Amino acid sequence: MTDESLKHDLARDFYSVWHPCTPRRDQETTPPLLIDRGEGVYLIDREGRRYMDVISSWWVNLFGHNHPRLNAALTRQLEKVAHVMFAGITHRPAIDLAEKLLSLAPPNLSRVYFSDNGSTSVEVALKMSLQYWRQTGRAEKNGFFHLTGGYHGETLGALSVCGLEMFRAPFEGVLMENRAVRGPDCYSCPFGLSPESCQAECFGPMERALEEEGGRTAGVIVEPLVQGAAGMKMYPPVYLKKLQEAAAHAEVHTIYDEVAVGFGRTGSLFVAGTHGLQPTFLCLSKGITSGYLPLGATLAGESIFEAFDGDFAARKFFIHSHSYAANPLATAVACETLALLTENDFLARLQPKIDAIGGYRPLFEQFKWCGEFRQTGMIAAVELVRDRTTREPFDRARRAGYAVYQEGLKRGLFMRPLGDVVYFLPPLVISPGEIKTMMETARTCIAEALGQ
Amino acid sequence: MTDESLKHDLARDFYSVWHPCTPRRDQETTPPLLIDRGEGVYLIDREGRRYMDVISSWWVNLFGHNHPRLNAALTRQLEKVAHVMFAGITHRPAIDLAEKLLSLAPPNLSRVYFSDNGSTSVEVALKMSLQYWRQTGRAEKNGFFHLTGGYHGETLGALSVCGLEMFRAPFEGVLMENRAVRGPDCYSCPFGLSPESCQAECFGPMERALEEEGGRTAGVIVEPLVQGAAGMKMYPPVYLKKLQEAAAHAEVHTIYDEVAVGFGRTGSLFVAGTHGLQPTFLCLSKGITSGYLPLGATLAGESIFEAFDGDFAARKFFIHSHSYAANPLATAVACETLALLTENDFLARLQPKIDAIGGYRPLFEQFKWCGEFRQTGMIAAVELVRDRTTREPFDRARRAGYAVYQEGLKRGLFMRPLGDVVYFLPPLVISPGEIKTMMETARTCIAEALGQ
């Protein structure tokens, strides 16, 4: 592959493609990597340079790139049929996947509704919740609570329950009016407590919101344990336990968005089941196909499903149609993903890796720019700050995280921090040696970008 | 495959899967087809029964199921990498696809933004339009016009520009407030004109809406020529020409949703280009991968793109992130789809098939239940009515279309009418013999279900 050919393709990209979340001016100075192939935790560019996919290609990849069993599952299904519509038709991969998901999810969930991505899995839950209340005589329950810092996708419905100004700002005024409730903030706990010992003293605002407005609220949506886009903010399960109790009391649905944290990221399959929690809706995507293909799933329980039963003329059934819902190729890969996740104690055997990642805590904490090193399972994050003692953040214009990202590119790490939060969310199959490379190289990158 | 095994799998489906647009009670009497494989225009169930895919699996399939070249394109890409994220990274299939789409689309379009499905391609256009006006000092332009009968997807943003009560009803009250404008209705033209000779006399309401509210309107969204979900309602291009002129005068964006009609369905690649129209945004999905995988694309022009340029701190860039945006497998199949569509005069050679379909007009028109036989390119539809003279519709509870659907299942046609509109939207590769089978069998099904 000549340098000319690479330049040519990058120019073609520059003049035809509109990339997400990418200021044009950044592309001028830092062109995108032109990735040609993948191999385990590595992405390989056209000139053969290897980059460790530290963030699993936006948190989707579980078993590495080019996994023989996932490739084989996809090819097997391709030989039968790539796609059929999902109204009036069903197929084995969808049935197998639905059954398997339900066998692994909290026991109150009994139905799987397929869509195409994380945003749609959330839109489906929001719409099911609204339609449920309407069809059970409680049409006044038509708003949602979400947490400050929450992220649930960017179609306009999903965006209306996002608590992050960066995503919402250009669309304020047209978004459905939902209520942002101050959620946990363990990084700067106002009660001065630690996640290990607290009793979710920060639950007060949600408790009051449910008391005040539960009667006109359809549901509360949360990212369990880790608020991803907010910068991998983490909070303990006790908050979710309180939420479950208070929401049940207020007759408000709980919507768990496990799009990012599901499928082993926290060290267990789903946060909900691990902590004995029973959400009304469970939204899944990303890792569901181990990062091969877009697929979303929304799980609901029988009491929800039954509210949609009725004669055809009553029009109570759920009408939300994506042409590619339950795509056979994607569901086939998802079945194989669940097989890999549940065989040979795969999740239990993550513990040494989780410990290994945690072992690098001192390496990061010793530096003055480390506001916090935090970890939940296979997800770890370093909050970069100007002053560790005061936790004064860097000037935004400094773009500390972006500087670290660029150092990573030089050293074979594809990291892409969230603002000034550098995080590690690698494919679960990352080896101990690769963990070492990832953590030590990242440390070097931070030191290079920001100084010792 | 034993009958027991089939029953078992259908029971597993019945108790775990929540199918879209399907009343539970219908599933009790008419279980879904359990499709095992596909071959050309046929879907084949577990017991080897063949069903012609008359509606291209929700309008997505162009080249039949199990097409050797599409399968090969997918496999070739799979051997390299199934997926990589699309921020900070690019790849050949996405670049090739973007360039090729732009070379085939109207010349004013110069940028391709990838997402996962038709709904998201529309959400992206809506959001780009809103953000464009905000960033060019016209934040008051924050609503959309859509046509009565329009359908643009069902995520809550897309749903807010749908003009069909069936999809909106359960969510009225929370949807973003946009304005439904009375659009063309050639089936019952209030001016007593025919599509062949009219001058879009029905443009009046849109003209007035643009005059009255253009100043606070961001864009107008339309399905060009064929309103699919409304029941394959068709209207002539002159309406779009008037719209283009009036929208330009009122400084309102035009958003063409060619998700259903694009990629050859009307006999040409895109409606916009064929008629010399230059929409501000062009939304594509469905046929883009020939019905293999979910993929959406939103095309925009340079004046839009440039309004998103600025320093990082200005936060003008477009932040709408789907993890699987520009999925390499889907974009690779889409590249091959465009190759197939543009080789060997493929589209020009559809004309005999279009004529053949049209040749069945008399067969349908001669019967008393035929309110109208209409056709645009490879799409044809029969409006079933109780009385052809008065066009009195069937009683909704009669479910005439559903009765025809069930007759189709008995005779090897998978049709799935839209209410009482039986329609034909087959894979473009359908052969003359298969067209004959489709049209004659459909006629038999209608006669069986409704009488001669």
Q: Name the minimum distance, in Å, from the CA of A191 to any CA of chain B.
A: 33
Burial of A49 (0-12, 13-18, 19+ CB in 10 A): middle
Q: What is the mean pLDDT of each run of 10 residues along chain B (452 residues)?
A: 85 97 93 98 97 98 98 98 98 98 98 98 98 98 98 98 96 95 96 94 98 98 98 98 98 98 98 96 98 98 97 92 97 98 98 98 94 98 95 94 98 97 98 98 97 83
Residues in chain B, how many? 452
Cβ-nearest to B174 among A26, A89, A176: A176
Name the residue among A60, A125, A451 with its Cα closest to residue A282. A125
For residue B2, count other CB atoms closer than 10 A to its CB: 9
CA–CA dist A378, A355 (Å, integer): 9
Residues 6+ apart with CB under 8 A from B219: B125, B126, B129, B144, B145, B252, B253, B254, B255, B280, B281
Chain B residue closest in CA terms to A139 = B170
- For chain B, domains (ranges, CATH) are 33-66+347-450 (3.90.1150.10), 71-342 (3.40.640.10)
Name the residue among A301, A327, A261, A342 with its Cα closest to residue A60. A261
Are A122 and A301 in contact by the 8 Å Cβ rule? The answer is no
Residues of B in contact with A169 (CB under 8 A): 315
pLDDT score at B313: 87
Displacement of CA B279 from its chain's centroid (Å): 17
Instruction: Look at the block and give the residue holding tokens 């197929």.
Output: A91
Residues of A in contact with B7 (CB under 8 A): none
Q: Write out B434-452 in H/E/C secondary structure.
A: HHHHHHHHHHHHHHHHHCC
pLDDT score at B277: 98
Q: Model confidence over A385-419: pLDDT tens digits?
A: 999 999 999 998 899 999 999 999 999 999 999 99
CA–CA dist B319, B251 (Å, integer): 24
Q: Name the minimum distance, in Å, from the CA of A77 to any CA of chain B.
A: 9
Greater model confidence, A3 or B105? B105
| Interchain CB distance below 8 Å, A329 and B414 | no
Q: Model confidence over A92-105: pLDDT tens digits?
A: 999 999 999 999 99
| Interchain CB distance below 8 Å, B10 and A43 | no
* The dihedral sign for the CA sequence A6, A9, A15, A19: negative
pTM of the complete model beyond 0.95: yes
Beta bridge partners of A422: A382
Which secondary-structure segment (H or E) carries B353? helix B351-358
Q: Which two tokens stand for residue A224?
A: 């369990």
Interface predicted TM-score (ipTM): 0.98
Q: Name the minimum distance, in Å, from the CA of B377 to any CA of chain A.
A: 21
Which of B28, B41, B43, B58 best tests the A interface by mutation, with the highest count of A CBs <10 A? B58
Q: Model confidence over A23-45: pLDDT tens digits?
A: 999 999 999 999 999 999 999 99
pLDDT score at A312: 87
Q: Model confidence over A254-300: pLDDT tens digits?
A: 999 999 999 999 999 999 999 999 999 999 999 999 999 999 999 99
DSSP state of A157: H
Residues of A in contact with B169 (CB under 8 A): 315
Instruction: Look at the block and give the residue holding tokens 């003008």.
Output: B316
Which of B155, B221, B295, B305 best tests the A interface by mutation, with the highest count of A CBs <10 A? B155
Cβ-nearest to B321 among A21, A78, A102: A21
Mean pLDDT (whole number) for A241-260: 98
Q: Is pLDDT of A1 > 60? A: no
Chain B residue closest in CA terms to A102 = B16
Mean pLDDT (whole number) for A73-83: 98
Helical axes A92-104 vs B3-16, angle rounded to 10°: 50
Residues of B in contact with A87 (CB under 8 A): 19-22, 58, 416
